Structure 1
């Protein structure tokens, strides 16, 4: 599974991937949110009308799929 640390390490590329899965994210909000996964997940829930549990699950699924994509490419 891709980790939060891996995702935020190259945030420019990472945000493009996240935005493609979660289109309601606003890049202007990211400088502070990318520092804290819990805050990011709360923001994700709010912007996409999800519960916190749904946001956590959706984001974990996103990280898992991206890790699989990286394995297939590598």
Structure 2
């Protein structure tokens, strides 16, 4: 999954982001979703992470979500 994939269905993915990152503020999201770098900087700030840690967290989130989507697709095909 890519950032572009996620922002195409932002409402769904934002709920999942909130589970992983509970300090996200709804008011900041319409602006942050447009720019991954801006989102990562915002995430670092609110979650008390370094920018590198925030980038790694976003990468991990996208990777894990892509694995979950693949598993769901494989389960439906069986």
Q: TM-score, normalised by structure 2?
A: 0.91
Q: What number of residue pairs does the alignment pair up?
A: 73
Whole-angstrom CA distance in 2 between matches of 1:67 and 1:18:
14
**Structure of higher CA gyration radius:** 2
Higher RCO structure, 1 or 2 (CA under 8 Å, sep 6+): 1
Pairwise CA distance, 1:27: 1.1
RMSD (Å), alpha carbons = 0.5
What SS class does the counterpart of residue 49 from structure 2 fall into? coil
Q: Which stretches in structure 2 are left out of the alignment for 5+ residues? A: 74-78
Q: TM-score, normalised by structure 1?
A: 0.96
Q: Extract structure 1 runs of 4+ deviating beyond 6 A.
A: none
1:69 maps to 68
